[in-house]
Amino acid sequence: MRIGVFVCHCGSNIGGTVDCARVAALARDFPDVAYATDPMYTCAEPGQAAIEEAIHEYRLDGVVVASCSPRMHEPTFRRTVERAGLNRYMFEMANIREHVSWIGKDKEANTNKAAELVRLAVEKLRHNLPLAASQFDVNKRVLVIGGGVAGIQAALDCAEGGIPVVLVEREATIGGKMAKLDKTFPTVDCSACILGPKMVDVAQHPKITLYACAEVEEISGYVGNFTVKIRKRATYVDWSKCTGCGACTEKCPAKKTPDAFNEHTGTTTAINIAFPQAIPKKAVINAQYCRQLTKGKCGVCAKVCPTGAINYAMQEEIVSENVGAIVAATGYDLMDWRVYQEYGGGVYPDVITSLQYERLLSASGPTGGHVLRPSDGKEPQTVVFVQCVGSRDRSIGRPYCSGFCCMYTAKQAILTKDHIPGAQTFVFYMDIRAPGKMYDEFVRRASEEYGTEYIRGRVSQIYPDGQGRLVVKGADTLLGEQVEIKADLVVLAVGIEASKGAVNLAEKLRISYDNHGFFMESHVKLRPVETNTAGVFLAGVCQGAKDIPASVAQGSAAAAKVLTLFARDKLESDPQIAQVDIRRCVACGKCLRCCPFGAIKETEFRGETKAQVIATVCQGCGLCTSTCPQGAIQLQHATDNQILAEVNALCQC
């Protein structure tokens, strides 16, 4: 081989603490090195041109660049050597910046280490082989999981871009948490009025297939060619016949059914449509409360239904969809705040969550938009808001900020005054976090225009005073004194957590998630919508706390990523995958058993069973290679011999 070595100074970044010229001089003595030099900026255009020239002039068939991290510039230099006619895998990088010059102060030790890392790269390169990528087709359809505002936005943008969309929603209606809100900050816009039209667009768009009351059961395949199994729950109503007229809900006798959409602030009927603007506007029977389904007698809805849509014998169903990309937009749930025993642990009816309060404020809620407290149905005169209940609390393992509670608490304080002009409102807060456009102004309005009293401090206890009111005891840390307020209603700004089942879904999608179940993006700053699994993108709170504008923005961003992916008709597969040496394979099946992706199958070769790698499914982790005792399956570009060459380069005594 004829190898060229380029030891980059990176200005003074490397040159300052590594003697690059000496490293290049040492490199000239390494086996197969035909040329070595130390350019100032290798990644700059002249630096890249110099590599190309050297390849031609010295007839190089491999290049080592010693510079920054390969995670940074490996793609850049691969393109460089490719331009000069080399295969892009005949290139290796030695990381002498992040791993040498930036972390060590001793120039001699650094120079020595840099030279050894170059030697390591040279030895690896000597064992490299040219690899070629193959191409495969892309199925230009997208699956969006979750029909909250982020998912709706992603679905609509993709559909507008001409991509068929499959939207899967777990609940009976799309709209997510935003559909439950009465108004939105900082404009006090009516939530249903701005979300409603988007929901209708989803229902009417010819490119969108909506599965409500459905969940993703299984995902297989890879970018461009996923197969998704979707479990459609039994709704006991034939939606192709249901017109959403609501006759059944009026006549249903099971009127004590818990109302999940209204956050259990009221009750509903066993057959019901979540709310007037629901999409799809179809009735669903709650099988646990339906008299026909539990006791076998009733059948009222079937009698009154004008289209005969009721089907008590309906079974759940699995449908299969093929897509090329997936957007996860599974949102969040409120944490179970009953761990806070000092706030009553859920015993006092007049201690409610902010989302429940939202339903009390809403005209489509159980009280028709009149704020009436749950215990006695009276209008509260004193309302206390407690922030950070389950946010920023390490004692219960929730160190993160839920992001938007400061803002909605201000909004709810304002709305309280709108509904009950004489009411007195208090807010217990830790810090006010209002960094958005017009956000801080909005919080100021709550306190200055609407007379909300902000108390900086935590609430230590809430208990009934025995006369129908609640005593809220807390500290005012600014004044340094105890505070005690008699309240008619206490609203807790309960912290968020990853949606139930998010971890399960992450495992199906093969994406990572953090300690709290939020999905991990590919890069915190530069790849916030991508995941480390190609073809899977994120939108909304499933990735981390964010408010409506940010969720919508990320929904659009995910759609843009899908459209970018689908702009090409063929995708290139990574050739860094496992390959079976069919002579060495004894078909013991160990690789097959370990492969996390099911990328290995059995095949017949001249009457014998052998392992075979499914090229498009293999992700290139190399677990099989370290599992196979006879070394019959080798991960290309990280073969046993390549890694052994590196080990031997370092340990040669």
Partner 1 sequence: MSVLDGKELRIVGFLCNWCSYGGADTAGVARATQPTDLRIIRVPCSGRVDPLFVLKALFNGADGVLVSGCHPRDCHYAAGNFYARRRLEILKRFLPVLGIDERRFAYTWVSAAEGQRWQHVVTAFTRQIHELGPAPRLEDAEPLLKVADMALTALRPLGSGQSAALDELKAAIRSKLPELDCVIGWQQGRDAAHHVPLFMRKPEDVDKLVWGPFNVNNPAVYLPSFKGKKVGVVVKGCDARSVVELLQENLIRREDVTIFSMPCEGTLDMGRVDQALGRYTAIDQVAYDEAGVTITADGRAQRFCMADWAQGKCYGCATPSAVLTDESFGASAPVEAKATTPPELAMLDAMSLEERRAFWRGQMERCLRCYACRNACPLCVCRDYCVSDSRDPHWMTQEDTVKEKLFFQTIHALHLAGRCTGCGECQRACPVGIPILALRQQISRAVGELFNGYAAGMNPQDVPPLLGYAVVEENIQEQDWK
348 vs 605, which CB is nearer to partner 1?
Answer: 605
Q: How far is 237 from 277, CA to CA, in rounded Å?
A: 18
Question: Minimum Å distance from CB 146 to partner 1?
Answer: 21
480 vs 629, which CB is nearer to partner 1?
Answer: 629
Residue type, 440: D
Cβ within 8 Å of residue 388, ≥6 positions away? 402, 405, 429, 430, 458, 493, 495
Tell me how many degrees the CA angle 499-501-503 measures, rounded to the nearest 5.
95
Contact (CB, 8 A) for 24 and 5: yes
131-149 as b/e: b if 16+ CB within 10 A: beeeeeebbbbbbbbbbbb
- Other beta carbons within 10 angstroms of residue 399's beta carbon come to 12
445 vs 508, which CB is nearer to partner 1?
Answer: 508
- For CA atoms 345, 346, 347, 348, give the dihedral sign: positive
22 vs 83, which CB is nearer to partner 1?
Answer: 22
Of 79, 124, 509, residue with least CA distance to 329: 509
Contact (CB, 8 A) for 40 and 11: yes
Question: Minimum Å distance from CB 652 to partner 1?
Answer: 7
Question: Minimum Å distance from CB 588 to partner 1?
Answer: 5
417 vs 508, which CB is nearer to partner 1?
Answer: 508
Question: Minimum Å distance from CB 524 to partner 1?
Answer: 7
Residue type, 192: A
273 vs 542, which CB is nearer to partner 1?
Answer: 542
Enumerate binding residues for partner 1 (CB under 8 A). 69-72, 95, 97-100, 102-106, 109-110, 112-113, 116-117, 120, 507, 510, 512-513, 520, 524, 532, 576, 581, 583-584, 586-590, 593-594, 596-597, 619-623, 625-627, 629-632, 634-635, 638-641, 643-644, 646-648, 650-653
Tell me how many degrees the CA angle 393-397-402 measures, rounded to the nearest 5.
55
Question: Minimum Å distance from CB 19 to partner 1?
Answer: 14
172 vs 536, which CB is nearer to partner 1?
Answer: 536
Of 57, 63, 60, 72, residue with least CA distance to 10: 72
- 133 token code pair: 């990528």
Question: Minimum Å distance from CB 388 to partner 1?
Answer: 25
Please give the distance of CA 312 from its chain centroid, rounded to a whole number. Answer: 37
Place of tokens 């060495």: 584
438 vs 650, which CB is nearer to partner 1?
Answer: 650
401 vs 623, which CB is nearer to partner 1?
Answer: 623
29 vs 602, which CB is nearer to partner 1?
Answer: 602
548 vs 635, which CB is nearer to partner 1?
Answer: 635
Question: Minimum Å distance from CB 546 to partner 1?
Answer: 19
Q: Please tell me whether residue 146 adopts helix, strand or coil conformation.
A: coil
229 vs 584, which CB is nearer to partner 1?
Answer: 584
Q: How far is 531 from 519, CA to CA, in rounded Å?
A: 8
Question: Minimum Å distance from CB 631 to partner 1?
Answer: 4
Q: How far is 650 from 346, CA to CA, in rounded Å?
A: 63
Q: How far is 5 from 22, CA to CA, in rounded Å?
A: 12
Helix (H) or strand (E) holding 496: strand 496-498
Helix 107-126, helix 20-27: angle, nearest 10: 40
Question: Minimum Å distance from CB 643 to partner 1?
Answer: 6
425 vs 619, which CB is nearer to partner 1?
Answer: 619
Question: Minimum Å distance from CB 626 to partner 1?
Answer: 4
Question: Minimum Å distance from CB 511 to partner 1?
Answer: 9
Furthest CA-CA distance within the chain: 94
Of 260, 261, 274, 277, residue with least CA distance to 193: 277
Of 174, 186, 194, 207, residue with least CA distance to 407: 186
Question: Minimum Å distance from CB 510 to partner 1?
Answer: 5
Of 53, 77, 80, 76, residue with least CA distance to 65: 77
105 vs 437, which CB is nearer to partner 1?
Answer: 105
Question: Minimum Å distance from CB 225 to partner 1?
Answer: 18
Long-range contacts of 458-466 (CB under 8 A, 24+ apart): 458/388, 458/428, 458/430, 459/342, 459/343, 459/384, 459/386, 459/428, 460/342, 461/342, 461/343, 462/342, 462/343, 462/344, 462/348, 462/351, 462/490, 463/344, 464/348
Question: Minimum Å distance from CB 118 to partner 1?
Answer: 11
